[in-house]
Amino acid sequence: MKLENIKIVMVGTTHPGNIGAAARAMLNMCIANLTLVDPQCPVGQVAYSRASGANLVLDQRETVADLPAAVADCSCVIATSARRRSLAWPELEPQEMAGKILQMDDASRVALVFGREHSGLTNDEMQLCNYMVCIPTNPEFSSLNVASAIQLLCYEIYRQQSIMPVARAPDLDDQPATSAELEGYFEHLQRVLEQSGFLDPQQPGLIMQRLRRLYLRNEMTRNEINILRGMLTAVQKQRD
């Protein structure tokens, strides 16, 4: 996988200095695609000054309204968090994360998602992610500055890339499914589960979250999604 297929996604960032510091950290490690989701501050002089010359990352940044839009074209979405969640998400060590990304073929796109300075990522945002990475830190003081977290993970990718130069050839017959395709499948699945009476919309519990986790950890391909949606459509037709 080429480094240009990786995007760094910052969600709801409140401090422009952190956006500038992130741009600098990224460009030091040859990663240049930055997407801002609903930024809570202007990207102006403070950000450019902290970027210390990494202007191209800021100039080329993409800004979108929400996380689904930021990761729609990605086949692997990796959340970062300083803390573990109540419904455990498949976790990767930073080294494993970098190895996994670099082994993907050049047709894949990957997003590394970073949360708000004060509150991190919401549980709904975590639900869009295939994996979670937690950088090991002092358990009594585990939360890194967001740009420092970006620096450490980009460094790990850059370091491993220099010792793992050969990328896999893309499988043109069966590409990895993108986040947008998976979301389309989850909506379809939920509809059928509700129509069949399996899922009570008034009391859904954690069923959809658990099902998402099951599917997301399997890195599904486009053909597999098409088969699953075909099955759901067949069930719907029979009901009608």
Which residues, 101 to 120, sit near ligand SAH by CB under 6 A? 114-115, 117-120
Instruction: Compute how many residues bind ligand SAH; rule: CB under 6 A.
Output: 20
Which residues, 145 to 204, sit near ligand SAH by CB under 6 A? 146, 149
Using the structure block, give the residue that is written with the tokens 């069930």: 235
Amino acid letter for position 28 = N
Contact 45, 107 (CB under 8 A): no
Q: Does 8 bind ligand SAH (CB under 6 A)?
A: no
What are the structure tokens assigned to 139, written together?
């358990």
Contact 150, 114 (CB under 8 A): yes
How many Cβ atoms from other residues are within 10 Å of residue 76's Cβ? Answer: 25
Q: Does 137 bind ligand SAH (CB under 6 A)?
A: yes
Q: Does 82 bind ligand SAH (CB under 6 A)?
A: yes
Q: Which of 72, 98, 121, 220 binds ligand SAH (CB under 6 A)?
A: 121
Q: Of 39 and 176, which CB lies nearer to ligand SAH in the complex structure?
A: 39
Q: Which of 28, 142, 160, 236 binds ligand SAH (CB under 6 A)?
A: 142
Cα dihedral 45, 51, 55, 61 sign: negative
Nearest-approach distance from CB 211 to ligand SAH, in angstroms: 25
Q: Of 115 and 176, which CB lies nearer to ligand SAH in the complex structure?
A: 115
What are the structure tokens assigned to 185, written together?
């499948």
Cα atoms in the Cβ-side hemisphere of radius 13 Å centred on 33:
16
Under the rule (CB under 6 A), what is the footprint of ligand SAH? 80-83, 114-115, 117-121, 133-135, 137, 142-144, 146, 149
